[in-house]
């Protein structure tokens, strides 16, 4: 099977940094496949996603190759990348507040996205936007078209972000901690939604997370990163049942278990363990 994405020897060093944020990272992704990239805070997993999307800050040094549908996407201009984002490459971000413009209704933002990349009338784009709000589980979607992000809960805003990410049927979705900013009671529903929509669309996905439990639910393969390097990669079953790396074993031991309490992992930052304190239903998820 031809690789949809093939990353080879990718290294990224931010301006002024003493060492690379990621170094010599290589992996491939087949069409329709979901691959997890897992590691604690500072492992380089978010930098990997930003590099693939061409969203690294100016002055960042990038080396290596990333072939998307056999075309190089590393080092190309913003002008060349912009038409790909949304249509072929898309992202689901950790915090929906960073993806939605508070000055415009959520419906108008979806309509603008659709009309920017598709030949649609305003009414046609509006109908499609309403359809997508319904698909992502937002009740009274026609009414919610006029809502602003501050009028919706975190969970509902994330559903809007998912609708925007998938509405143009991208070939590749990069999801960076898509539920970690949400209350734990909302996370499972959002993960189920992403899984169902990705399956329905046939899109591929790179799922960036610190949570191996999420990887077990959603991914066929997993890449484990530490300090900017890949320490282990393989099929999910193999990684979970016969991990070779001590670091992977520590990550697995730190995951909650029904049979035993989770063992603390001293190097995991407190910020990664934080979740929202209110549920989606109360408007603060």
Q: Which of 194, 171, 169 shows the shortest CA–CA distance to 182?
A: 194
- pLDDT tens, the chain, 285 aa long: 679 999 999 999 999 999 999 999 999 999 999 999 999 999 999 999 999 999 999 999 999 999 999 999 998 888 888 888 878 999 998 888 888 999 999 999 999 999 999 999 999 999 999 999 999 999 999 999 999 999 999 899 999 999 999 999 999 999 999 888 778 878 888 888 899 989 988 899 999 999 888 899 899 999 999 999 999 999 999 999 999 999 999 999 987 753 333 444 444 333 333 333 333 444 444
Q: How many helices (H) and strands (E) does the chain have?
A: 11, 10
C-alpha dihedral over 235, 236, 238, 242, to 10 degrees?
A: 140
pTM: 0.84
Please check whether residue 74 is in contact with residue 10, taking contact to mean a CB–CB distance below 8 angstroms. yes
Q: 93: which residues sit within 8 A by CB, 6+ positions away? A: 99, 161, 176, 178
Architecture of the domain defined by 3-280: 3-Layer(aba) Sandwich (3.40)
């Amino acid at each position: 099977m031809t690789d949809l994405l093939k990353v080879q020897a990718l290294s990224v060093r931010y301006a002024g940094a003493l060492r690379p944020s990621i170094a010599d990272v290589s992996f491939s992704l087949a069409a329709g496949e979901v691959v997890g990239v897992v590691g604690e805070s500072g492992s380089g997993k978010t930098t990997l996603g930003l590099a693939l999307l061409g969203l690294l800050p100016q002055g960042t040094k990038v080396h290596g190759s990333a072939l998307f549908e056999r075309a190089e996407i590393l080092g190309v201009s913003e002008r060349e990348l912009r038409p790909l984002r949304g249509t072929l490459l898309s992202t689901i971000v950790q915090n929906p507040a960073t993806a939605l413009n508070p000055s415009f209704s959520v419906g108008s933002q979806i309509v603008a996205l659709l009309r920017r990349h598709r030949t649609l009338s305003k009414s046609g784009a509006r109908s499609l936007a309403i359809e997508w709000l319904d698909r992502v589980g937002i009740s009274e979607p026609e009414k919610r078209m006029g809502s602003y992000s501050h009028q919706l809960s975190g969970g509902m805003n994330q559903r809007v972000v998912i609708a925007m990410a998938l509405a143009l049927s991208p070939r590749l979705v990069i999801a960076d901690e898509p539920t970690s900013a949400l209350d734990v009671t909302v996370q499972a529903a959002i993960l189920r939604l992403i899984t169902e929509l990705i399956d329905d669309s046939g899109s591929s996905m790179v799922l960036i997370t610190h949570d191996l439990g999420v990887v077990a639910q959603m991914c066929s393969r997993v890449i484990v990163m530490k300090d900017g390097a890949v320490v282990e990669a393989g099929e999910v079953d193999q990684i979970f049942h016969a991990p070779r790396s001590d670091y992977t074993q520590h990550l697995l031991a730190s995951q909650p278990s029904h049979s035993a309490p989770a063992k603390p992992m001293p190097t995991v930052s407190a910020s990664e363990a934080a979740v929202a304190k209110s549920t989606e239903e109360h408007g603060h998820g």
